Structure 1
Amino acid sequence: MAAEKKKIAIIGAGPVGCAFAVHLVKAGHDVTIVGRGQRLANLEENGGVLAKKSEKATEITKTPVRAVGSLDTAQPWDLVLLTVTEHQLDEPLFATLKACPKSTEFLFMFNTFASLGKYFDVLGKERCIMGFPAIKASFYDGVLVHQFLSFGQITIISSPEWRSIFSSAEITSVYEPDMQSWLRTRAAMALGVMSSLVAAAKRKSGVTWAEARLSAGAAREGLTLTKKLGNDITPKFIFYLGVAAPSFVLTGVLWVLTRVSSIRNNPQVPNWEREMLGLAESIIGAAPSGDDVRLISQLRSKYV
C-alpha cells in the first residue's frame, strides 16, 4: 500500500536536498525546497530539479518541485528535512523551526559529534529525528547526478515511521535508535577520511605516509573520545579497524584511498574542507580536555 501523502519542506538546495526531493516527489509527497543564491535561482528557472543518470549521460529529466527562499512557518508541515551542514544551523534558523506547527517533526541529515541534547532542548526531543544520508550526489552544469546507496552503508534514520516512508520512496533506509553513538563514530572516521582526501585533492596526488598517519591518528582519537563520553563505537567493524587494529592499518587504508583517482577527483572533495573543519571543531568542543584531542587540534591547525 502506498504511503500516506506527506507535506515536506527540505532546507538545503544542494545535491543531497535535491536528490531527496526527486525521490519524495515521485513517491507522491508534497515537497518544497528552501534554498538561496544561485541554486534557488536555478530551481526557479528550471521549474524543478534537472537530473540525469550519469555525468556523461545526455538524457535529462525534470522533477517539478516548488522552490522558495524561506520556510513558511504557517504551513502544516509534516516534516522539515534539513540537509545543511552543522555550522549552518544558527539561531535564526532555530527560531524559524520553533515557529513551525507543534505537529511538525524535524529530520536532521548531517554529520556531527556534538551532543544531540542541544537540538532536543531547543525543539523538543519528541520532534527531533536524526539521520545520515548514504548517497553519492553532485551537480554537473546544474544537472543532478545521484545514487542512494542500497548496500553496505545505507541511509540511517532514528524514526521507524519515516524510515518506512523513505524506503517506500526508493531511499533504502534502516532504523537506528542510538544515533548519538552512530553519529559520533561516523564523525570521527569522516574526519580522517575527509582530511586525507582534501589534502590529496589540493596536491592532485596521493598523500604522504605522514599525512595519512596524522589523519588516521585523528580518527582514532575521535573514536577513543566516543567511548570516553559513554557512547558505543557502531557499527562494530569500525572499532576493529580504527581502535583494535594496529595504527598502521587505518593509516594504510587512507594512504591507499587517496591513490584511487576516481575517489580523489570526486568533484565534491574540494567542498569538504569546511565540513571537515566543522567536524574537528565539533569533536574538540565535546572533549573534556585538550589532551583528548591533541592530534585533531594539530590536524585542524593545518587548515586554519
Structure 2
Amino acid sequence: MTAEKTKIAIVGAGPVGCAFAVHLVGAGHDVTIIGRGQRLANLEDNGGVLAKKSENATEISNTPVKAVGSLDTTQPWDLVLLTVTERQFDEPLFTTLKACPKTAEILFMFNTFASLHKYFDILGKERCIMGFPAIMAFFHDGALVHKFMTFGQITIIASPKWRPIFSSAGIKCVHEPDMQSWLRTHAAMVVGILSATVAAAERKSGVTWAEAQLSAGAAREGLLLTKKLGNSITPKFIHYLAFTAPSFVFTGLLWLLTRVPSMRNNTQVPNWKQEMLGLAESITGSAPSDDDVRLLTQLRSKYV
C-alpha cells in the first residue's frame, strides 16, 4: 500500500497544506491543493510550492503542484486532507465534502475543542480520520519554511491505512486512540502557552507573574472542562503538571518561557494570537455554563 500512488486533495493553501503537498508529491502521489486569494495566485504563478530549508537559506526549490480554487467533487479522490482552521468549516464546505465520492476518506488536520461528533454526524464517522500536524511551518519571502517533528510531539493520523503512506513520504506519524481527549487537552494547553507568549510579545518583555497566573489558570479551566465533558487528560503527564504539581510550577514554566527571546520575538506571533483566540472560542463555546470558563473569558477579552 505504501508504494501505491494515491489521489489526494489538500484543502488549504497555507504553510501546513503546502508542506504536506511537498512531501506527498515527492513520494509520487497525485496531489491537488485547493486554495483561494493571494496564496492560490502564488501557487498558480509559481507552478507549485517554493520552499527553502530556513529563513536565511538562499537556495529555493519548486515542487510542482496542481492548484485550483475549488474542490472538484467528481474526481475519484482517495483522500481529502483538510488543513484549514476550525473557523473555516462552514456549510458550503460541509456540502462540498458530502458531495465527494463515498470512497474518499476525509482527514482532519487541525485543533479543536468542540465535539467531533458534529463532523461525524454530517460526513459519516466511517470516512472521517482525525489527526494533528506536528509541524513548524511558515512563509518567508514567499517561500515555505517547514519542519515536521520527529520526536516529542509527532504528527497524529488515526488510520492504520494512511499512516504508512504518510510515513513513506517523510512525515513521521503515530496513532492516538482517543483523539477527542487528546485534542481537548492540547487545545487547553495551547491557549495557556500562546496567550502568555502573545502577552510577552506585545509588552516586548517577559510576562508578569499575574499574567502567567491568568494564562495557567485559563489552561486549567480548559482541562477541567475536558474532564467535565467526559474526556481524560491526554497525555497523562499534563494532568500532573496542571493539577498534581503545586500551582506555581505551571505558572512558573509559562513565566520562564516568555523570557526566551526567540519565543516572544517570533515572527509567527500574530498567527499564534489568532490560533489562541480561535481555540479559546472553541473551549468557551463548549462550556455548559459561564462559570466553567470565567478565566478563559477574561483572557479572551484582553485581545478581542
Name 1:150's counterpart in structure 2.
Answer: 150
Mapped to 1, the partners of 2:203 and 2:161 lie a distance apart of: 45
Name 1:229's counterpart in structure 2.
Answer: 229
Name 1:163's counterpart in structure 2.
Answer: 163
Q: Does 1:259 align with 2:259?
A: yes
Deviations 1:26-63, CA, capped at 9 Å, x for gaps: 01110011111111111111110111111111111111
What amino acid sits opposite 1:270 in the alignment?
P
Contact kept in structure 1, 2:2 and 2:165, CA below 8 Å? no
Q: Give 1:284 deviation, angstroms.
A: 1.1
Deviations 1:154-193, CA, capped at 9 Å, x for gaps: 1011111111111111100001121000000000001101
What amino acid sits opposite 2:263 in the alignment?
I
TM-score, normalization by structure 2: 0.98
Contact kept in structure 2, 1:40 and 1:68, CA below 8 Å? yes
- What SS does structure 2 have at the residue aligned with 1:241? helix
Name 2:294's counterpart in structure 1.
Answer: 294
Deviations 1:55-103, CA, capped at 9 Å, x for gaps: 1111111110001111111111111111111001111111111110111
Contact kept in structure 1, 2:79 and 2:106, CA below 8 Å? yes
What amino acid sits opposite 1:192 in the alignment?
G
Mapped to 2, the partners of 1:203 and 1:38 lie a distance apart of: 31
Name 1:5's counterpart in structure 2.
Answer: 5
Q: Give 1:214 deviation, angstroms.
A: 0.3
Q: Give 1:219 deviation, angstroms.
A: 0.4
What amino acid sits opposite 1:122 in the alignment?
I
Q: Give 1:247 deviation, angstroms.
A: 1.4
Name 2:76's counterpart in structure 1.
Answer: 76
Contact kept in structure 2, 1:201 and 1:270, CA below 8 Å? no
Mapped to 2, the partners of 1:131 and 1:269 lie a distance apart of: 24
Mapped to 1, the partners of 2:165 and 2:213 lie a distance apart of: 41
Name 2:199's counterpart in structure 1.
Answer: 199
- What SS does structure 1 have at the residue aligned with 2:136? strand
Contact kept in structure 2, 1:158 and 1:178, CA below 8 Å? no
Mapped to 2, the partners of 1:75 and 1:247 lie a distance apart of: 53
Mapped to 2, the partners of 1:303 and 1:78 lie a distance apart of: 41
Task: Extract unaligned runs of 5+ from structure 1.
Answer: none
What amino acid sits opposite 2:108 in the alignment?
F
Mapped to 1, the partners of 2:287 and 2:164 lie a distance apart of: 35
Name 1:35's counterpart in structure 2.
Answer: 35
Name 1:250's counterpart in structure 2.
Answer: 250
Contact kept in structure 1, 2:192 and 2:219, CA below 8 Å? yes
Contact kept in structure 2, 1:223 and 1:243, CA below 8 Å? no
Task: Extract unaligned runs of 5+ from structure 2.
Answer: none
Percent identity, aligned pairs only, is 80
Contact kept in structure 1, 2:2 and 2:164, CA below 8 Å? no
Name 1:269's counterpart in structure 2.
Answer: 269
Q: Which deviates more, 187-196 or 240-249?
A: 240-249
Alignment: residue pair count:
304
* Mapping 1:94-173, distance limit 5 Å: 94-173=94-173
Mapped to 2, the partners of 1:27 and 1:263 lie a distance apart of: 33
Q: Give 1:2 deviation, angstroms.
A: 4.2
Mapped to 2, the partners of 1:220 and 1:33 lie a distance apart of: 38
Q: Give 1:251 deviation, angstroms.
A: 0.9
- What SS does structure 2 have at the residue aligned with 1:63? strand
Q: Give 1:272 deviation, angstroms.
A: 2.0
Mapped to 2, the partners of 1:69 and 1:267 lie a distance apart of: 28
TM-score, normalization by structure 1: 0.98
What is the root-mean-square deviation of aligned Cα atoms in Å? 1.1
What amino acid sits opposite 1:66 in the alignment?
K
Mapped to 1, the partners of 2:36 and 2:269 lie a distance apart of: 22
What amino acid sits opposite 1:290 in the alignment?
D
